A = this chain, B = another copy of it.
C-alpha cells in the first residue's frame, strides 16, 4: 500500500485512484480488506504456529471465505461498473486480483456465477491492461490458469 501510494504521489498518470473522495475511500476499503483482513491471515508462514497442516488449512480457508464474503458486500455497494470501483482500474483491483487467484487456487474457494466477485473477474479477462499478466497471455505462464479458468473450474466442492 505504501508503494502504491508512493507511485501515485510521484507518477500520478495513469491514476490508480478515483478523483472523488468517497470513491477513493471505497477503493481503500477494498484494499485494506485484502491486505489486512485476508492476506496476513492465510500467509503460509503462519503454518508453523498451528498443530497440524490441516488445522492451518481450515483456518486459512475460513478466513478467506469470511474475507471474500466481505468483499462481495463491498463490491455490491462500490462497483456498478466493470471493476471493483466503477469502470476505472484502481488500487482496489491491484489488491483484489492476486487475492482471488490465491483463494481460488491454493485455498480452493469457488466463486459462483452471478456474484459480484465473479462478474468482476470476468471483466479482468477482457481488460487489455491486464492481458500481459493474466495467465496464458504471459509468455512464461502458459501452464497457469487465467482468471477466467480459475473462477469457472476451481472449488473446494468440486
Q: Is residue A22 within 8 Å, beta carbon to beta carbon, of the partner chain?
A: yes
Distance between Cα atoms of A50 and B10 in the complex (Å):
44
Query: B10 to A21, Cβ gap below 8 A?
Result: yes
Interface 0/1 of A9-28, CB less than 8 Å to B = 11000000000011011101
Q: Number of contact residues on A: which range applies?
A: 20 to 34
Determine, out of A37-45, A100-108, A119-127, the stretch whose residues face the partner at the interface: A37-45
Residues of B within 8 A of A69 (CB): none
Interface 0/1 of A27-58, CB less than 8 Å to B = 01101100111011100001001110001001
User: Which B-chain residue is minimally distant from A38 (CB atoms)?
Assistant: B40
Shortest C-beta distance, A35 to chain B (Å), equals: 5
Distance between Cα atoms of A21 and B5 in the complex (Å):
9
Given contacts A35-B36, A40-B40, contact A2 B21 (CB under 8 A): no
A residues within 8 Å of B by Cβ? 1-3, 5-6, 9-10, 21-22, 24-26, 28-29, 31-32, 35-37, 39-41, 46, 49-51, 55, 58-59, 62
